[in-house]
Amino acid sequence: MSKLTLCEMGVMDDYIQISGLHKTFHTRSGPIQVLKGIDLTVRKGEIFGIIGFSGAGKSTLARCINRLETPDSGSIKVGGVEILNLSKKQLLQERKKIGMIFQTFNLFEAKTVYHNISYPLEISKIPKPEIRKRVLETAELVGLSDKLNAYPGGLSGGQKQRVGIARALVSRPNLLISDEATSALDPQTTLQILDLLKEINRTTGITILMITHELDAIRYTCDRMAVLEDGKIIEVGTVREIFNNPLSRTGALFTKVFTEFQRITEFENGSGI
Amino acid sequence: MSLLDTPIWEVIKGSFAPDIWVRLVPAVGETLYMTVVSSIIMLVFGLLLGILLTVTNPDGLVPMKILYTGSGWLINALRSLPQMIMIILMIPVARLFFGKSYGTNACIISIAASCIPMYARIVENSLLEISKGKIEAAKSIGSTNFQIIFRILIPETLPSLIRGFTVAVIAVISMTALAGMFGAGGIGDIAVRFGYQRFQHDVLFASVYVLIALVQLVQWIGNFTSKQILKKRNLI
C-alpha cells in the first residue's frame, strides 16, 4: 500500500514508455490489425496489469516489448532504451534485462531444474562459481531448493511456474513480463504464484507487467492497470479506480462478471475470495 | 545345398554348418564397416541439412525462402532416385575419391549419398516437433540462434532424433546389401554370389539370419536409448 501512495505522489519514474504502437498480422485471410496505436506508461517498481479478452492484443503487446514480435510503427522505451532501434546484438543484451514467464511455462525438458535456471547465465559466459551461487540464491527465492536435480517433467504446474520465474529472474532483470502466467494453474496455486510475484516485487523492486484475462489476479496483485479492447487501450488507472468506476465496456463487463462471481463464492463459502 | 533338391528343413539345418559361417564372418565385418562409416557420414551431413531445412523454414528461426525451397527441391530430387541408380550415378564420384569405382569404400559414397537426403527429412521432422514456446522462451532469455539450435533445439528433440537415426541406420544396412551386388562385399555380396548365382540356399539363409539380427539389434539399441532419455526426463 505504501508503494501505491508513492505512485500516486508521482515519486516513481516511468520505466516503460510505449507510444503510437501499431502491429498488423498478415494472414491468408487478409491483414488483421492487432494493435491500433497503443500509448502506455509503466512506472518503475510497480506491478502493472493489462487485462482484456482473448484476441484483444494483450500478448502481442507484451511480446513487442522484448521484440519477440516486431511492431509496424511506434516507440517502446524500456529504462530509457528505445527497443525498436536496437541492433541484433544490442537486442540480445537488452532481452537479458527483461524476464518473461509464460502460460505454458516453456521449460527446457532436457535440462534439470538447476540447468533451466542456470541457462541464461551460461549463455552470458558468467564464471561457473558465480552461476552456482546465483542459481542457488534464485532457487531459494522461489522455494525450489530441494528440486534442483529434478527434471521439469516430474514437477507440478505450480512448481514448473516457479522454475519459469527463477529462470526469468536469475539474470537480475529490471522488468518481468508475465504473459498469462497463472492462467493454466488452479486457484490455490495461482494465489501462491501471485504472492510470490508480489514478494519478489517488494524485495527486489522489479517492475512487473502482468498480462492476464483473470480479473482476480489483477485485483489481487496490481497497483495500476490498463484495459485493452480491440487493439486499443480504453482505460488506465489504479486498480481501485477502475473497479469502482467502470466506464469502459470491458471494465463494466469484467466488473459485472466479477461481482457475480464474488456473490456466488460468498454464497458458497460464506466469505469472499 | 539348394532348395531345388533338398527339403527346406535340411537347408535350414545346413545353414548352421561351420564352413558357411567361416565364409560369412569377414563379410559381416565388411557390412559392419560400411554401415558404421556410412551412418557417421549420414549423421553429420543429414543433421546439418535437417537443421538448415528447419531453420530456414518460413516459420523458422531465420526464414530464408529461396534456400528453404531450393534445398527442399534438391532433397526431393535425390530421394526420388532409386538406390540402385544412385549407386551407378556415384561411380564417377567414387573413382574421383578412391581411384576405383568398386569395393567397400567406393560404395560408402553411394550409400551416404542415397541416405543423407532421407535422413535430412527425418531430422527435419524431429526438429519441427519442438514447441514454439520453448524457442520463444530461449529467445526472450537473449539466446543467439546458434545457442537455440545447439543448446535447446537438439537436446529437446534428442529422443526423437535418436529414433529417426535408428530408422535411417536400418535403411543403410539394407542398402549395404544392395551395394553388395556392385562389388561392395559384405553380406549382400555373399547372398548374391552363393545364394542366387550358385543356388546355395543354406548360405542365403545364413546371411538372412545375420541381417535380421543386425536390424533387430540396431532397433533395440535405438528404442532403448530413446526410452532411457525420456525416463530420465520424467516424460514417460
Window 96-135 of B: residues touching A by CB (8 A cutoff) are: 131, 133-134
| Residue A221 clears pLDDT 80, i.e. is over it | yes
DSSP state of A13: P
Q: What is the pLDDT of residue A7?
A: 46
The average confidence (pLDDT) of chain B is 92
- CA distance, residue B158 to nearest chain A CA (Å): 8
Q: Which of B130, B125, B188 is nearest to B157 (CA)?
A: B130
- Judge if pTM exceeds 0.80: yes
| Residue B209 clears pLDDT 60, i.e. is over it | yes
The answer to whether residue A13 sits within a structural domain is yes
Domain containing residue A39: 2-85+176-183+210-269
| Residue A224 clears pLDDT 50, i.e. is over it | yes
User: Rounded CA gap, B78 and A76, in Å?
Assistant: 48
The answer to whether residue A30 sits within a structural domain is yes
User: Rounded CA gap, A266 and A143, in Å?
Assistant: 32
Strands A81-82 and A73-78 turn out to be antiparallel
| Residue A188 clears pLDDT 80, i.e. is over it | yes
Confidence of residue A249 (pLDDT cuts 50, 70, 90): low
The answer to whether residue B187 sits within a structural domain is yes
User: Rounded CA gap, A70 and A84, in Å?
Assistant: 8
| Residue B87 clears pLDDT 90, i.e. is over it | no
The answer to whether residue A28 sits within a structural domain is yes
Q: Helix A157-169 vs helix A113-122: angle between axes, to the nearest 10 degrees?
A: 20
Angle made by CA atoms B127, B129, B131, in degrees to the nearest 5: 110
Residues of B in contact with A152 (CB under 8 A): 233-234
Q: What is the pLDDT of residue A243?
A: 77
Q: What is the pLDDT of residue A66?
A: 93
Q: Do A92 and B158 touch (CB under 8 A)?
A: no
Q: What is the pLDDT of residue A10?
A: 47
- CA distance, residue A123 to nearest chain B CA (Å): 7
| Residue A5 clears pLDDT 70, i.e. is over it | no
CATH code of the domain covering residue A246: 3.40.50.300
Quote ipTM for the complex.
Answer: 0.88
Q: What residue in B sits closest to A63 (Cα-Cα)?
A: B140
The answer to whether residue B54 sits within a structural domain is yes
Q: Which of A38, A39, A16, A64 is nearest to A173 (CA)?
A: A16
Q: Helix B158-179 vs helix B104-128: angle between axes, to the nearest 10 degrees?
A: 150
Strands A73-78 and A14-27 turn out to be antiparallel
The answer to whether residue A201 sits within a structural domain is no
Q: What is the mean pLDDT of residues A39-66?
A: 92
By the 8 A CB rule, do A92 and A120 touch?
A: no
Count of domains in chain B? 1
Q: What is the pLDDT of residue B72?
A: 94
DSSP state of A150: S
Most trustworthy range by pLDDT among A4-13, A182-191, A246-255, B183-192: A182-191
Which residue's entry shows cell 491483414?
A: A31
Window 145-174 of B: residues touching A by CB (8 A cutoff) are: 147, 151-152, 155-156, 158
Residues of B in contact with A68 (CB under 8 A): 136, 139-140
Q: What is the pLDDT of residue A246?
A: 61
| Residue A217 clears pLDDT 70, i.e. is over it | yes
Give CA separation, B156 vs A188, B161, B162, in Å: 31, 10, 12
* H helical segments located in chain A: 2-9, 58-65, 88-95, 113-122, 128-142, 157-169, 187-204, 215-221, 239-244, 249-269
CATH code of the domain covering residue B75: 1.10.3720.10
CB within 8 Å of A195: residues ≥ 6 apart? none
The answer to whether residue A258 sits within a structural domain is yes
The average confidence (pLDDT) of chain A is 89
- B160 or A56, greater pLDDT: B160
The answer to whether residue B3 sits within a structural domain is no
Q: What is the pLDDT of residue B222?
A: 97
E-strand spans in chain B? none
Residues of A in contact with B141 (CB under 8 A): 95-96, 119-120, 123, 167-168, 171
Count of domains in chain A? 1
- CA distance, residue B157 to nearest chain A CA (Å): 8
Q: What is the pLDDT of residue A268?
A: 66
Domain containing residue B42: 8-232
The answer to whether residue B184 sits within a structural domain is yes
- B68 or B100, greater pLDDT: B68
- pLDDT, tens digit (0-9, with 9 covering 90-100), for B181-192: 787 888 988 988
Determine the residue type at A267.
F
The answer to whether residue A265 sits within a structural domain is yes
| Residue A258 clears pLDDT 80, i.e. is over it | no
| Residue A265 clears pLDDT 60, i.e. is over it | yes
Q: Do A100 and B140 touch (CB under 8 A)?
A: yes
User: Rounded CA gap, B61 and B139, in Å?
Assistant: 10
- A51 or A249, greater pLDDT: A51
The answer to whether residue A237 sits within a structural domain is yes
- pLDDT, tens digit (0-9, with 9 covering 90-100), for A79-113: 999 999 999 999 999 999 999 999 999 999 999 99
* Percentage, residues of chain A above pLDDT 70: 88
User: Rounded CA gap, A230 and A222, in Å?
Assistant: 22
- B101 or B149, greater pLDDT: B149
Q: Which of A99, A151, A152 sits opposite B232 (nearest CB)?
A: A151
